């Protein structure tokens, strides 16, 4: 997902909330890694160093999300009202000036997101390198162990089976996401063809870059039976894919929880043998960071698409000679579209606020476990803390594939 440009238009304004579970998981997985590498001081230091780096990175992420929140507010509270006034007074030149101002806001966000994406990419590689360091030291230590416990052998076999199942599920999820992106692009192209006959729909699709809302607006604005039937068929296909993705995400999460449980058993057995546990939790940290990295890349592409859509709106609606004469005719459609655009962007801003709160909490409280040396814990304290963290992981809700909740009303 991170290495290919996804569909330009997001299905729903809540997409940024996918950051929440990944951010929450990261600190908890660091905590488990820290516990599992107790009594190995050099490895504890590695975990502590990477965890502090992540904590600082989350602080930068919160700053980026704050920019998204403020820009969403500017669109709702400044740009849209100014566009309404410009349209009411038939001042196309003013509308163009307002859209140019919005492009400056959005370009600033794109620059910030690009920087944070680059930081996540570098940090994710560093975490992966740390996992390799742990594996190397584990291999060196294991060479000194001549007797392998039967319980550990069976546990490792179960872990390997679960890893294979998780790999298969993750690959299937990636394929489903590609199919969703492809289907979303198909719907987007169909919507573009429809906008040629509905100016109001064209304006709406430029102001609200969420494909789910555009689908709803097509049903309101288009009455040709053939087009409606085609749109319904595409929507049904996409909804099936979204349902598949949700099911796969649930399955992936359940397998991850099983892996955590069995890793605890393997950790206990390894401690008894004097072996270093496999750094599975540290690998999961890197996986969570990669997911955040991928979502932020989506955010970057999203804002780029918004900039392009606003520029298209400026050229085709307020500058193009073929449409400027129709501004009075379009007034009713435009003003109603602005109202729905405000709702959509308010939802997006609210999603960014939720993600921002999580990053603030992660920066402030989630890494306090680093203040305690895990090797100082008794066996009972260690098990109690491990179970507590695992319980918190189980209580994290995996991200849901949501549909849109705002129904556009295009003026007939």
- Contacts (Cβ under 8 Å, ≥6 apart) of 6: 181, 298, 301
Can you tell me whether residue 10 is helix, strand or coil?
A: strand
- The ranges assigned to domains in the chain are 15-394
Distances (CA, A) of 43 to 18, 148, 363, 375, 390: 31, 23, 23, 12, 21
pLDDT at 299: 81
Are 286 and 121 within 8 A, CB to CB?
Answer: no
10-residue block means of pLDDT along the chain (412 residues)? 42 71 84 80 80 83 84 85 82 81 86 87 80 72 58 79 90 91 83 70 72 74 78 88 90 86 73 59 75 80 76 63 52 75 82 81 76 82 86 73 41 35
Rounded CA separation 225/232 (Å): 10
Q: What is the pLDDT of residue 8?
A: 41
pLDDT at 7: 38
How long, in residues, is the chain? 412
| Confidence (pLDDT) at 234 | 87
pLDDT at 404: 41
Q: According to the model, what pLDDT value does residue 62 have? A: 82
- Report pLDDT for 181: 86
Domain 15-394 falls under CATH 1.20.1170: yes
Question: Long-range pairs for 187-190 at CB < 8 Å and ≥24 separation?
Answer: 187/211, 187/214, 187/215, 187/231, 187/234, 187/235, 187/238, 188/7, 188/8, 188/9, 188/214, 190/230, 190/231, 190/234
What span, in angstroms and rounded, lies between the C-alpha atoms of 7 and 298?
9
Q: Report the pLDDT value the prediction gives residue 6, as an integer from 0 to 100.
A: 37
Contact 396, 242 (CB under 8 A): no
């Amino acid at each position: 997902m991170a290495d290919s440009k996804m569909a330009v238009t997001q299905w729903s304004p809540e997409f940024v909330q996918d950051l929440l579970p990944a951010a929450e998981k990261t600190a908890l997985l660091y905590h488990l890694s820290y516990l599992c590498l107790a009594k190995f001081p050099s490895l504890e230091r590695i975990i502590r160093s990477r965890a502090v780096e992540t904590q600082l990175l989350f602080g930068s992420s919160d700053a980026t999300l704050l920019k998204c929140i403020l820009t969403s507010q500017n669109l709702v509270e400044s740009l849209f009202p100014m566009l309404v006034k410009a349209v009411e007074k038939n001042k196309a030149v003013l509308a163009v000036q307002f859209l140019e101002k919005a492009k400056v806001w959005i370009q600033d966000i794109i620059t910030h997101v690009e920087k944070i994406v680059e930081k996540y990419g570098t940090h994710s590689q560093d975490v992966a390198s740390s996992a390799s360091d742990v594996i190397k030291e584990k291999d060196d230590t294991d060479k000194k162990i001549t007797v392998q416990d039967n319980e550990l052998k069976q546990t490792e076999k179960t872990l390997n089976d679960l890893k294979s199942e998780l790999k298969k599920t993750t690959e299937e999820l990636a394929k489903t996401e590609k199919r969703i992106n492809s289907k979303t692009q198909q719907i987007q192209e169909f919507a573009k063809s429809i906008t040629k006959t509905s100016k109001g729909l064209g304006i709406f699709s430029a102001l609200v870059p969420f494909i789910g809302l555009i689908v709803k607006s097509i049903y309101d604005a288009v009455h040709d039976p053939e087009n409606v039937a085609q749109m319904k068929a595409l929507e049904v296909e996409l909804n099936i894919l979204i349902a598949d993705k949700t099911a796969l995400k649930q399955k992936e999460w359940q397998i991850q929880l099983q892996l955590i449980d069995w890793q605890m058993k393997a950790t206990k057995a390894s401690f008894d043998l004097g072996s270093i546990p496999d750094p599975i939790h540290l690998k999961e940290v890197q996986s969570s960071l990669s997911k955040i990295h991928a979502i932020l890349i989506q955010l970057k592409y999203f804002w780029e698409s918004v900039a392009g859509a606003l520029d298209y709106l400026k050229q085709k609606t307020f500058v193009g000679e073929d449409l400027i004469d129709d501004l009075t005719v379009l007034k009713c459609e435009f003003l109603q579209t602005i109202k729905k655009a405000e709702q959509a962007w308010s939802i997006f801003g609210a999603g960014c606020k939720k993600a921002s709160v999580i990053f603030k909490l992660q920066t402030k409280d989630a890494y306090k476990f680093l203040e305690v040396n895990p090797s100082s814990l008794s066996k009972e304290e260690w098990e109690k803390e491990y179970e507590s963290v695992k319980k918190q992981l189980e209580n994290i809700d995996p991200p849901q594939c949501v549909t849109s909740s705002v129904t556009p009303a295009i003026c007939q």
